Amino acid sequence: MRILVTGGAGFIGSRVAAAYREAGHYVAVLDDLSTGRPERLPSGCRFFRGDLVEADLSALLAEERIEAVSHHAAHVNVRASVRDPLGDARVNVLGTLRLLEACRGRGVTRVIFASTGGAIYGEPRGPSSSEDEPTEPVSPYGIAKLAAENYLRFYRAEHGFETVVLRYANVYGPGQDGAGEAGVVAIFAQAMLAGQAPVIHGDGLQSRDFVFVEDCVRANVVALSGPSGLWNVGTGVETTVSDLYHRIAAALDFSGAPRHDGPAPGEQRRSVLDGEKIRRDLGLPLYTPLDEGLARTIAWFRRRSATAVENGETGSMGGVR
């Protein structure tokens, strides 16, 4: 199959593109490199630098004879969406709509959409949020993702699209860039390796569902040939930010205390997903336990830090946000 991965130079998108290539598919990548990095691009992919709102998407689909799209390009920062709702909507709503229109015009009807489970439900009503829970996002980012999902529903009903919506929990793993993508695991690990005390927004008792990036990749691979539908990709395990801090500190032998500041605007108190439906429907294996995923992630950051020191790149680990 000939696949376009938007956001394919990003943390998740690049791994999805690599998995498609390993499965024998032809992969083209579109990324504006605002947060994506060229060095993440897997070998064998054809790269196009462009903005979803400005690029000639129809010509790209035609030139590359695309048959399916995995749509990961997005602004993913909740706090930034609160500061700039128009900028968030430009990419996450208008950009998505332009992509869908280009797909319709070129007869590309298979679309996999990377949505958010962490921001789309609002506060969970029970232990975790399942796919049939009401969607009550409290940030422009979550609102924009929900709007994109509704557009996908329209294109499926009106134009016969085959659509897969994957609502990710809080994704982490090797290669994440906390400086650009606001991943708390990456932010904490980078700070501690630099001997700095990370900042915890609020009291640290806010909780999240941390899902390992390779679990998201597997979901994208099976979704490529599976039925249309909407699925959470999350572990159902709730972890507080404070607990996460102490786990990472213990793994890195970091004895410093975190710094605290005020709660971040637009962020909810709890977020945890029921991820069992996708395992039942599509046969995904058990999710990676948090301790295992953190061990693999921290090992990657250790190697990256050691390489930076060897090369004299003292500023390469980025800032803490």
| pLDDT tens-digit map of 172-194 | 999 998 754 458 999 999 999 99
**Predicted local confidence at residue 89, as pLDDT:** 96
Q: Are residues 8 and 136 in the same domain?
A: yes
* Calpha distance 36→47 (Å, rounded): 12
Domain boundaries, position 198: 173-208+237-271+289-310
The answer to whether residue 24 sits within a structural domain is: yes
**Domain co-membership, 123 together with 181:** no
What's residue 79's pLDDT? 83
Spans of the chain below 50 pLDDT: 180-181, 315-321
Q: Clarify whether residues 139 and 186 are in a common domain.
A: no
Q: Are residues 165 and 108 in the same domain?
A: yes
Q: pLDDT value at position 320?
A: 28
Same domain flag for 243 and 226:
no
Residue 123 within any structural domain of the chain? yes
Pair (187, 132) in one structural domain: no
Of 107, 44, 31, the C-alpha closest to 75 is 31
Same domain, 50 and 26: yes
* Distance (Å, whole) CA 75 – CA 90: 9
The domain total for the chain is: 2
Closest CA to 109 of 46, 56, 60, 158: 158
Partners of residue 212 on adjacent β-strands: 172
**Residue 137 has what pLDDT?**
92
Kindly state whether residue 53 falls inside one of the protein's structural domains. Answer: yes
Q: What is the pTM for the complete model shown?
A: 0.93
82 and 227 part of one domain: yes
Distance between CA atoms of residues 153 and 253, nearest Å: 48
Shared-domain flag, residues 120 and 243: no
Same domain, 225 and 293: no
Positions marked active-site:
141
Asked whether residue 321 is domain-assigned, the answer is no
38 domain-assigned: yes
Q: What is the domain-level CATH number for residue 71?
A: 3.40.50.720
Q: Identify the CATH number of the domain in which residue 181 sits.
A: 3.90.25.10
- pLDDT value of residue 182: 58
| Same domain? 256 vs 162 | no
126 and 229 share one domain: yes
pLDDT for residue 229:
97
pLDDT tens, residue by residue, 114-153: 999 989 998 888 999 999 999 999 899 999 999 999 999 9
Give the CB-side neighbour count of residue 179, counting CA atoms within 13 A. 11
